[in-house]
Structures are given as C-alpha cells and as structure tokens.
Amino acid sequence: MKNKGKGKLKHFMYILIAAGMLFYAFAAVDSAEWGGAGGVFWFMWLAFAIVIIAANANMLLLTEEKREALSHVKRAKVLRREQAAINFVNRQVEKKARKIRGH
C-alpha cells in the first residue's frame, strides 16, 4: 500500500513541475515573437507541458483493475517483441547455414 501512495506522489509532483513549466512559458509569452522560431518553441513548450500533465493525470485516475490490464498489455507486447527477435535471429542463422551448405 505504501508503494501505491509513493507512485501517486510521483505523478502529482510531475504535474506540479509541468504546471511550473506552463507558468514560466506564460510569463515569457509577452516577449516571444509569434512568428518564427520563438513562436514555434513556445507552442512546443506548451504542448509538451500539456502532454505531461495529461499523462500523469491519467496515471493518477487509473483504477487498480485498469492498471493491471495495462500491465498485461505491456507484458504481451514485450513477449511479442522477444518472439519477433528470436524469429529474426533464427532466419538469419538459417540463411547463413544455407549459404555455407551451398544451397
């Protein structure tokens, strides 16, 4: 149970840091040039902060059942990648073996 609270605190801290990024960006918006690289940088900064806030808010709001389902999906993806890597290596070994045998 302690670990669960620690994880929630971590996500809450990330949200606070991203909110700080937003406040910093809004304070500097007056001096930003809307055209050119300054405006692009400001909008990218804003988008990055919003993505951080959204992702961490999602993690705070996940129920335990959804968290377990997400964990199962992640494990299945890892197993598929491992199997794909094994198949790739096996194909490469077979290809080299055929080349050595002269087929």
Q: What's the 3-state SS for the chain?
A: CHHHHHHHHHHHHHHHHHHHHHHHHHHHCCCCCCCCHHHHHHHHHHHHHHHHHHHHHHHHHCCHHHHHHHHHHHHHHHHHHHHHHHHHHHHHHHHHHHHHHCC
Task: Read off the pLDDT band of 1 (50, 70, 90).
Answer: very low
pLDDT exceeds 80 at position 54: yes
Tell me, yes or no, if the pTM score tops 0.75: no
What is the residue type of 101? Answer: R
Mean pLDDT of the chain: 85
pLDDT exceeds 70 at position 29: no
Average pLDDT over residues 62-78: 90
State what percent of residues in the chain have pLDDT above 90: 40
